[in-house]
Each structure stands twice: as structure tokens, then as C-alpha cells.
Amino acid sequence: MIRGFLFHLIPLLIPFVVYAIYLYFAKKAGSDKTWQGKSIAVSTLIGLFLMALSMIGLGLSRDEPVEGTYVPPRFENGKLIGAEIIPNKKD
């Protein structure tokens, strides 16, 4: 669960980290640049784009069968059984 959460959170945070590193070295070089509304908005848009790409990539790389019968989550004997896709039988 945490791995899936981080898989989508890290691409969102990458632009902010890169910009923070840029500001750190710019300040060392004598620049007076700071976080501004435009830079935060651009970083957010880039992060959302990267996060969407990670979601698409994860969705395309799953090894689940595409064809089959979907069985929704259910309770059996007091235990929750997760959703599954049962592959179609080939005759």
C-alpha cells in the first residue's frame, strides 16, 4: 500500500525538489530569487503531469488478464475476499 502511494507521490514532488535545489545554488551565487506563485504553479502542473504518467505506466504494465469474468470483493465466512478476474476457459 505504501509503495503504491509513494509511486504516485514521488513524481508529484520531483519538480519541487529540483526547483528548491536550483534556488539553493542560485542563492549561493548571489541571486535573490525566491519561491513565487508562478513557480509553485508551474511545479504543481509538471508534478501532476508526471504523476499522471506514472499512473498510466502502472496501468499499462500490470500482469492481470484482460479477458475474463470480474468477481467483485465479497465476504465469505466473515473474511473479505478481494476482487479478481477469472480468465475465460479456452476450449
Q: At residue 21, does pLDDT exceed 90?
A: yes
Q: At residue 84, does pLDDT exceed 80?
A: yes
DSSP string, 32-90: -----HHHHHHHHHHHHHHHHHHHHHHHHT----SSSEEE--EEETTEEEPPEEEPPPP
- Would you mind telling me the total number of residues written for the chain in this entry? 91
Mean pLDDT across 61-66: 68
Collapse the DSSP code of 18 into the 3-class scheme (helix H, G, I; strand E, B; otherwise coil) and give the result: helix
Mean pLDDT across 65-75: 84
pTM, entire model? 0.62
Tell me the C-alpha distance between 32 and 49, whole Å: 29
User: For the chain, which residues make up each domain, given as ranges?
Assistant: 2-64
